[in-house]
Chains A and B, each alone.
Chain A
Amino acid sequence: MDTIANSTVPEGSTEQWRDKKRYLWLIGLVVPSLAFIAYGLWLATGSGAWFWIGPVVILGVVPAIDLVAGLDRSNPPDDAIEALEKDRYYRWITYLFLPLQYVAFIGAFYVIAQGDPFGVGGDLSVLDKFALAVSIGCAGGIGINTAHELGHKREANERWLSKIALAQSFYGHFYIEHNRGHHVRVATPEDPASSRVGENFYQFWPRTVLGSLKSAWRLERKRYARRQMHPFRIGNDVINAWLMSAVLFGGLIAWLGVGIAPYLVIQAVVGFSLLEVVNYMEHYGMLRQKVGKPGKERYERVDPSHSWNSNNIATNVLLYHLQRHSDHHANPTRRYQTLRDFEESPVLPTGYAGMIVLASVPAIWRRVMDPRVLAHFDGDISRANISPRKRDKYLAMYPPPAPTAEETAAAQAEADAAAEAALDEVMAARCPGCGYAYEVEAGNELEGFAAGTAWKDIPRDWCCPDCGVREAADFVRVEKVDAR
C-alpha cells in the first residue's frame, strides 16, 4: 500500500464488518454426525447407552449451552447483506448436511439389521436399536430444518436438495405446505401449523400432522385444476416427494430385511415430531387481526410481532437462525446468515431446543407461555389465537380489559365512518330475496331516484320495488349487474 507523508488513516475506519458466526455455522453439521460419534463410542466402551446421543444432545446439551452462553443479537449492517447473501461458503454448509445425514441413516440401518459391519461390536439389543432409531430420527428432524432453509430458495437445485433431505422422515409434502400454505396463513386460526393458546403439544400434533398433509394435497390439486389437469402425475410435488421416500424405505427393506421396518417408522415419527414441536412454539397464540371493509375482510400483513424469536446462540447456530423467525416470515427467501433480530418481536425465555423440553410438559408450558402471550397482547387475551374449546375458560381466567366510555364512542364513530365510506363506493346492490338490482348509474325513475342517485342516498327502509319484502339495508353490494 502507498503511504503518504504526514497522513494517518483513522484507526478502525478501514475495517470491514466480519461475520463472527462464520465458522460457528459448521456446528450445524454436528447433529447428522452424532450417529458416527455414537458408533465410535459404542465400539470403544461396549455400552449401547451411547446410541441415545441424539435426544441427549438436542434436549440436554444444547439447552444447557443456551442457558450459559447467553444471547447474540448482532445483525449484519445493510451494506454487508448483499455480499453475505452471495457468499457461497454458507450454502455449502447446508449442502454438506445431506451426505452426512444419509450416510448416517443408511449406516445406522445396516447396524440395526446386521450388527457391527467390522465384527467388533456385535449385534444390538432391541433397546439399543430403538435408541439408535430415535437418534437417527433426531438427525432427520434437524434435517427437516435444513430442508426448510433450502426449500425457500430461488435456485432449483436447492429446492431439489430440500426434497431429498425430507425423504428420510417421509415428510416431503412439508415443502409444499410450508411455503404456500403456512407462510400465507401464518398466525391465523386457519393455519394447521400455527398453535393456539390453550392447545397443548399433544393436541396440536394430530391437528398439524393431518392438517399439513391435507393442505399440501389441496394446494397441488388446485395447481393442476387451474390448468384443467388431474393431480395424479409425477410432477405433483406431493406425489414425487412421497415416491422418493417409498423408494428409499423400500430399497432399505429389500436390502436389509423387513425387520428394520418398525425402526424406519420410529425414526420418521421422531423426525417429523421434532419439526412439529418447533412449529408449535414458533407462533403460539399469535393472531393476525382482520382488517378491511365488511365483506372484503382479510388478515393484516405479517409483521415481526407474529412470531416468537430467540437469540440464544447455541440453538441459533444449530438451526440456521430459524429462531430469527420474524425476519424469516418477512423475507422467506433470505438466506440464514443474513437474517436479523427485530426489536418488536416477542422473545421466548430460552432457545427453541430448551422450549421443546417445556412443550413436552403442558402444565409447565402453560405456566411459562400463557402470561407471555397475555403480556404480548397488552393484557387482552381476546386478541390471541385461542383454542376454540378453551376460549370461554381463557376469557374467564384473563378477563379482557373493559374499554373506557371514550374508547367505545371512538370505536363506534370509526365504525360508522367506515360504513358510510363503504356505502359511498357501492355502484350496484342486489335484493337478497328476489334478485332485483339497483344500479347507481341507472337509478330508478319510477321509485323517484334519478339516474346517478348514490346508494347511500337511498333510504335504508326503502322497500324492494320487485318483491316488496326486503329493505335497502338488506341489499347485497354487487360489483356490476349481469344481464339477466
Chain B
Amino acid sequence: MRIEVDREKCEGLGMCEAMASDIFELDDDEVMHVLAESPPESDRGHVHAAVQACPVLALSLVG
C-alpha cells in the first residue's frame, strides 16, 4: 500500500490530516507532508478514508 499525492491538485486543505493525522501533516505554510508513504496494512481503514475524503482528489492509494 503506497500513498500518491498529485502536487498540482493538492491545496493544503487538511482534510486528510483530519482523517489520519498520523499519516498526513500540514505544516505552518499549509503544505501537506506524507509522514508515512507506505503505511502498514493495519492502517488501511483510515488511510483509505483520508484518501476518499480529499475534496480535490489529490490523493490515491496504490496497492
A330-B53 CB under 8 A given contacts A292-B21, A298-B21, A302-B18: yes
B5-19: CB near A (< 8 Å → 1, else 0) gives: 000000111110111
User: How far is B19's CA from A154's CA once the two chains are assembled, in angstroms?
Assistant: 20
A163-192: CB near B (< 8 Å → 1, else 0) gives 000000000000000011001100000000
CB-defined contacts of B18 to chain A, threshold 8 Å: 184, 298-302
- Asked if A332 and B53 make an inter-chain contact with CB atoms under 8 angstroms apart, the answer reads yes
Most chain A CB within a 10 A radius of its CB, from B15, B21, B46, B56: B15
A223 CA to B46 CA, complexed, in Å: 27
Chain A, residue nearest B49 (CB): A330
* Chain A residues whose C-beta falls within 8 Å of the C-beta of B56 in the assembled complex: 179-180
**A292 vs B22: C-alpha distance when bound (angstroms):** 11
Given contacts A330-B49, A332-B52, contact A184 B57 (CB under 8 A): no
Cα–Cα distance between A180 and B19 once the two chains are bound (Å): 15
Choose from B11, B17, B20, B55 the contact partner of A183 (Cβ within 8 Å). Answer: B55
Cα–Cα, bound, A15→B56 (Å): 39
Chain A, range 31-61, C-beta contacts under 8 Å to B: none
Query: What is the minimal beta-carbon distance from A408 to any residue of chain B, in angstroms?
Result: 28
B19 to chain A, nearest CB (A): 5
| Interface residues of B, count at CB 8 A | 17
Q: Give the complex CA separation of A1 and B15 in angstroms.
A: 51
- Within 8 Å CB of B14, what residues of A? 184, 298
A192-224 interface (Cβ within 8 A of B): 219, 222-223
Q: Is the CB of B11 within 8 A of A223?
A: yes
Is the Cβ of B11 less than 8 Å from the Cβ of A222? Answer: yes
The answer on a CB contact under 8 Å between B17 and A180 is no
A291 to chain B: closest residue by CB: B21
Interchain CB contact under 8 A, A184 and B21:
no
Contact call B52/A180, Cβ cutoff below 8 A: no
Complex Cα distance, B57 from A154, in Å, reads 7
Provide the residues of chain B in CB contact with A222, threshold 8 Å. Answer: 11
Interface centre among A154, A183, A184, A292 (most CB of B within 10 A): A184
- State how many angstroms separate the Cβ of B11 from the closest Cβ of chain A: 6
Residues of B within 8 A of A226 (CB): 11-12
Minimum Cβ distance to chain B for residue A454 (Å): 23
Nearest CB in chain B: distance from A155 CB, A: 11
In the assembled complex, the Cα of A179 lies from the Cα of B56 at a distance in Å of: 8
Q: Is A331 an interface residue (CB 8 A)?
A: yes
Bitwise, B29-63 to A at CB < 8 A (1) or not (0) is 00000000000000000100100110111000000
CB–CB B11/A333 < 8 A: no
CB proximity of B9 to chain A, nearest CB, Å: 10
Taking the nearest CB of chain A, how far is it from the CB of B48, in angstroms? 10
Q: How far, in angstroms, from A180 to B53 measured CA to CA in the complex?
A: 10
Q: Which residue of A lies closest to B19 (CB)?
A: A301
Min C-beta distance of B51 to chain A, whole Å: 10
In the complex the two chains form, is A298's CB within 8 Å of B17's CB?
A: yes
Residues in B whose Cβ lies below 8 Å from that of A298: 14, 17-18, 21
Give complex CA distance A271, B40 in Å. Answer: 47
The minimal Cβ–Cβ distance linking A147 to chain B, given in whole angstroms, is 16
Partner of B55, one of A184, A301, A330: A184
Q: Identify the interface centre among B14, B20, B53: most chain A CB within 10 Å of its CB.
A: B53
Residues of B with C-beta under 8 A to A223: 11
A179, B11: Cβ atoms under 8 Å? no
The 8 A CB mask of A284-322 against B (1 = contact, 0 = none) is 000000001000001111100000000000000000000
Nearest-neighbor residue (CB-CB) of B57 within chain A? A154
Q: In the assembly, what is the distance between CA of A183 and CA of B56, in Å?
A: 11
* Residue from the list B17, B46, B52 in contact with A331, Cβ < 8 A: B52
Q: Is the CB of B11 within 8 A of A180?
A: yes
B53 touches which of A154, A183, A300 (Cβ 8 Å): A183
Q: Closest CB of chain A to B34's CB: distance in Å?
A: 17
Residue among B21, B46, B52 making CB contact with A333, cutoff 8 Å: B52
Question: Within the complex, what minimum Cβ distance (angstroms) separates B12 from chain A?
Answer: 8
In the assembled complex, the Cα of A219 lies from the Cα of B14 at a distance in Å of 13
- Who on chain A is nearest to B11 by CB? A223
- How long is the Cα–Cα vector from A226 to B10 in the complex, in angstroms? 10
Docked complex Cα distance between A154 and B58 (Å): 11
Let me know if B55 and A332 touch, CB within 8 A. Answer: yes
CB distance from A18 to the nearest CB of B (A): 26
For B12, the chain A residues whose CB sits under 8 A away are 226
Could you tell me which residues of chain A, from 123 to 168, have a CB within 8 Å of some CB in chain B? 154
14 additional A-B pairs beyond A180-B13, A298-B17, A333-B57, beta carbons within 8 Å, are A154-B57, A179-B56, A180-B56, A184-B13, A184-B14, A184-B18, A222-B11, A223-B11, A300-B18, A301-B46, A301-B49, A302-B19, A302-B53, A332-B52
- 9 A-B residue pairings within 8 Å (CB atoms): A180-B11, A183-B53, A298-B14, A298-B17, A298-B21, A299-B18, A301-B19, A332-B53, A333-B57
